[in-house]
Amino acid sequence: MNLGCLTQKIELNSIIPAIRIELIKILEKNLSDAEIARKLNITKAAVSQYKHKKRGKKLNFPKEIEKMIVESSVSVMKGKSANSEISNIINEIKKCRYICKVCKECK
């Protein structure tokens, strides 16, 4: 898969924060901020910043990615690595080339 832009920069600055926003929205229904922070390997302060829209920006993911995020939230609640789940979601985002819609540099 040859994407002509700096995908890592896009992942770091846009995709990962947007995925975390979605995961936190789901996880906060059952977990405290401290528990969410522990499961996502981020600080409690970072969780608060995501919740209060001071970190990251919401993206309108395709339906199949939204479904993956929901499924990943269940896996994370059961103890699976959030980093592994986020990595799987990113790989799918690259496969469906949604990352190009976020980037907009190739157009």
- Supply the pLDDT for residue 42: 97
77 near 31, Cβ under 8 Å? yes
How would you label 43-55 residue by residue, b for 16+ Cβ within 10 Å and e otherwise? eeebbeebeeeeb
pLDDT tens digits for range 15-72: 999 999 999 999 999 999 999 999 999 999 999 999 998 988 888 999 999 999 999 9
The more confidently predicted of residues 26 and 4 is 26
What confidence tier does 96 reach under pLDDT thresholds 50, 70, 90? confident
